Amino acid sequence: MKRRWSILVGMVVVALSITLAPIALAAPRAAPSTSSTIIHIVRPGETLSGIARYYGVNVWALARDNNIINPNFIYVGQRLVVNTAGTTGTIHVVQPGETLSMIAAHYGVSIWAIAQANGLYNINYIWVGQRLLIPGYAPPPYTPPPQPTGNWYGQYYNNLTMTDPPCGTRYDASINFNWGWGAPMPGVAADGFSVRWTRSATFAGGTYRFYARVDDGVRVWVDNVLIIDQWHDGSLRTFSADRTLGAGSHDIRVEYYDRIQVAKAYFWWERVTPPTETVTPTPTESPAPTGVWHGVYYNNSYLLEPAAAESDAPWIGFEWGAGSPLPGIGVDNFSVRWTQTLAFDHPDTYRFCVMIDDGGRVWVDGDLVVDEWHLTNGLHYCGEKYLEAGNHTVVVEYFEWTGDALIYFWWE
């Protein structure tokens, strides 16, 4: 009888142990409270292993810190504590054509060390845009070069809110970027990043139209006045705003973010009205400024006579899409030549740019400055030419073959 009682007591203890074990495992862990703690909100399509790779932490450590017993089960909206305190090294964003062995050789570390640090089970499988922690590698501090005159100072952030500190800075000659699915610079993620560009520029007096063409969001300030405020997700689209400026230097700030997928950012301006004050012209043999672009339209892609229509416009900025530019002109297989004499106020090297779908050319005083007479898809091209102060003749040529039609032209 005594023996049976002992066996019964033992069975009860075992049963209680089995019953209470999950409760003990699920006991809340104290979330790390260091400055290297990040809260990540799970989004649709994310997995625990993907989140771990994004932040360069071990998937099992991430599961342990969040009391996740089954790493295959997380849910949208779940708050995950990501503790990066133990991660030492740098983050490498995988570029097209790279392999794990190439990356390991570049940083001088073992391929197995990278695989272990990132929870990679198949060393032959990595993808473009993947963020890999390179253990034990500390990159040299980035020292920006002296600022070239007229360039944009760009601050790049691995967040959507430009929360300091930036993870990279550099000087960009223009805001003219089609990053596609890639990262904007080493150390910056391909998604979920933001940029702040600033510069001062010299303007002649007059009214200017500022353009921003982006995927996803953008804001633009001129002299600390917000003129474009489109801080929201969206596919590639164009925004513009007009502002009257006095002659002299003005401060411009452009802020941009990309949440997911394709990243594109373009910014430019053009003068749409001349200065209000009367200026005594310098004697010149050049024709006087006309103030409008005279456009000659052809029902072919080669600017072949006879012309089908003519029309004047204050600026070259058209998105015809799948439609016709003018009555009597086809929706496809047409071309246009615009001509205007422009006044340039001071001698300098000017950059002339076009954004086109399909092809375009730019001539300044008979010199070919931009030559992109081929099929394109909304891309941006620029060429430079030194001009003396005075009047100069500019010719812009464009053709549309098929599909959507688009052209913007400006100089800076």
Series of mean pLDDT values for 10-residue runs along the chain (412 residues) = 49 42 35 56 81 73 83 85 67 81 81 79 82 67 47 90 86 88 87 92 88 91 90 87 89 92 89 59 49 88 86 86 88 90 86 86 90 81 88 92 86 80
pLDDT for residue 23: 33
- Taking each helix axis from N to C end, the angle separating 111-118 and 100-107, rounded to the nearest 10 degrees, works out to 110
Half-sphere exposure (Cβ direction) of 360: Cα atoms closer than 13 Å = 29
> pLDDT at position 181, please?
86
Burial code (b: 16+ CB inside 10 Å, e: under 16) for 235-265 equals: eeeebbbebebeeeebebbbbbbbbeebbbb
Cα-based torsion angle of the residue sequence 199, 202, 205, 210 in order, rounded to the nearest 10 degrees: -40
What pLDDT score was predicted for residue 194?
93
pLDDT for res 315: 81
- Whole-angstrom Cα Rg for the chain: 30
Place of tokens 């944009």: 152
- Domains belonging to the chain, first-starting first, are 89-135 (3.10.350.10), 152-273 (2.60.120.260), 293-411 (2.60.120.260)
Structure confidence at residue 136 (pLDDT): 65
Token reading at 110: 């073992």
Q: Rounded to two decimals, what is the model's pTM?
A: 0.41
How many Å apart are CA 203 and CA 270, to the nearest integer? 10
Distance CA 326, CA 401 (A): 16
Contact (CB, 8 A) for 82 and 38: yes
From residue 53, alpha-carbon distances to 180, 284, 367, 370 in Å are: 21, 65, 52, 43
pLDDT at 36: 55
Q: What is the CA 306 to chain-centroid distance, rounded?
A: 42
Q: Which residues contact 178 (CB under 8 A, 6 or more apart)?
A: 264, 379, 380
Strands lying side by side in the sheet with 405-411: 317-321, 405-411, 348-357, 379-387
What the block records as the tokens of 204 is 């002649």
Q: Compute CA 65 distance to the chain's CA centroid, rounded to the nearest angstrom.
A: 34
Q: Round to whole Å and give the CA distance between 303 and 309.
A: 12
3-class SS letters over 7-26: HHHHHHHHHHHHHHHHHHHC
- What's the CA gap between 185 and 385, in Å, rounded? 29
Contacts with 333 (C-beta within 8 Å, 6 or more apart), sequence order: 299, 300, 301, 400, 401, 402
- 293-298 and 379-387 strand pairing: unpaired
d(CA 380, CA 388): 26
CA distance 99 to 353: 37
Q: Is the peptide bond before 306 cis (omega within 30 degrees of 0)?
A: yes
Which distant-in-sequence residues (6+ apart) come within 8 Å of 125 by Cβ?
Answer: none
Q: What is the pLDDT of residue 398?
A: 93
